[in-house]
Amino acid sequence: MTTMRLEPTMLVTGRREVWLRRIPLLPALIFMVIVTQLPFVATLIISFVHWNALYPTDVGFGWFQNYAAVFTDGATLQSVLVTIGLTVGVVLISLVLGFVVALLLDRKFRGRGIVRTIMIAPFLIVPVASALVWKHAILNPSYGLFNGTLTWIWGLFGQASHAPQIDWVTAQPLASVMAALIWQWTPFMMLILLAGLTGRPLDVIEAAKIDGATNAQIFRHMTLPHMRQYLELAALLGCIYIVQNFDAVFTITSGGLGTANLPYTIYQTFFEALDYGKASAAGVVVVIGSMIIATFVLRTVSSLLKEDGKR
């Protein structure tokens, strides 16, 4: 029995070929490091520094004082609660609505492609533009769609002059922000869930129908178990994006009336209070939370890919 011995020149040649294949990827890698990692490292360092631009002579390492201030400040804790409530509410409602729309669009009917395109449209709109549409075209107390609809309904009974003119943003500020976000993110949920529905084993479903299973039984015992991981993926991705949402809060309420979430509080701390250390600490907390959620997303995606590979 003979063993193959690799000469040093062969090893050097192999390593050189490996690096030659990696060289074309180096510019993209360097660009990603500069754009993403260096700013985060700078933020991480500043988060340990006591640095307020209003007191330029009082700058120094405060170690974990900024993090302690983040977790003990009443306004910051309130913004954390608002962020959790906003995220949970938007994700759950948009997930349910997206699932219902996906089930409807999974059926064959004339013009299904056009309807799908129309349903996706809200997700393609720039977030600031979407928030402006809701603030001025829909929720405005003078000429908004909601109050115009109420006036039309009251007019059917001859009471148009007595129709309520509700200032929706003032009366229901958090619900107004949530409505704009739900309208924007429901199509995102629908896309993921529709992809899951198209991957169902249709032959098994047809066999169940032949055996006498009802549509409710098929949905409960076959569709829902199949869609579980797609629902988890949509919820986790939605949580990542909604936790970081800034546009809707800034555009619709400017953080007032108890709608300031954590990203908006970071903005206020950095640009208005000029407390760079505390704002950086809060930003690091948001990044860590997003990374935790992203870890679950990657696990869900990997499990989906493994199941697809077994089929």
User: What's the chain look like in SS3?
Assistant: CCCCCCCHHHHHHHHHHHHHHHHHHHHHHHHHHHHHHHHHHHHHHHCCEECECCCCCCCEECCCHHHHHHHHCHHHHHHHHHHHHHHHHHHHHHHHHHHHHHHHHCCCCCCHHHHHHHHHHHHHCCHHHHHHHHHHHHCCCCCCHHHHHHHHHHHHCCCHHHCCCCCHHHHCHHHHHHHHHHHHHHHHHHHHHHHHHHCCCHHHHHHHHHCCCCHHHHHHHHHHHHHHHHHHHHHHHHHHHHHCCCHHHHHHCCCCCCCCCHHHHHHHHHHHCCEHHHHHHHHHHHHHHHHHHHHHHHHHHHHHHHHHHHC
Mean pLDDT of the residues in the chain: 82
Q: Which residue has the higher pLDDT, 296 or 93?
A: 93
All structural domains of the chain, each given as residue ranges with its CATH number in brackets, are 75-309 (1.10.3720.10)
The structure's pTM equals 0.79
pLDDT score, position 1? 47
pLDDT tens, residue by residue, 256-270: 888 998 889 888 888
pLDDT score, position 183? 93
pLDDT score, position 310? 59
pLDDT score, position 222? 82
pLDDT score, position 153? 87
| pLDDT band (50, 70, 90) for residue 6 | very low
| pLDDT band (50, 70, 90) for residue 274 | confident
Residue 14 has pLDDT above 70, yes or no: no
Residue 160 has pLDDT above 80, yes or no: no
Average pLDDT over every residue of 72-85: 87
| pLDDT band (50, 70, 90) for residue 98 | very high
pLDDT tens, residue by residue, 210-264: 877 787 888 888 888 888 888 888 888 888 888 888 899 999 998 888 899 888 9
> Which amino acid is present at 77?
L
Q: Which of these ranges, 20-24, 217-221, 282-286, has the smallest mean pLDDT?
A: 20-24
Residue 4 has pLDDT above 60, yes or no: no
pLDDT score, position 302? 67
| pLDDT band (50, 70, 90) for residue 179 | very high
Residue 200 has pLDDT above 60, yes or no: yes
Average pLDDT over every residue of 137-166: 83
Q: Which of these ranges, 20-29, 134-143, 278-287, has the smallest mean pLDDT?
A: 20-29
Average pLDDT over every residue of 90-114: 88
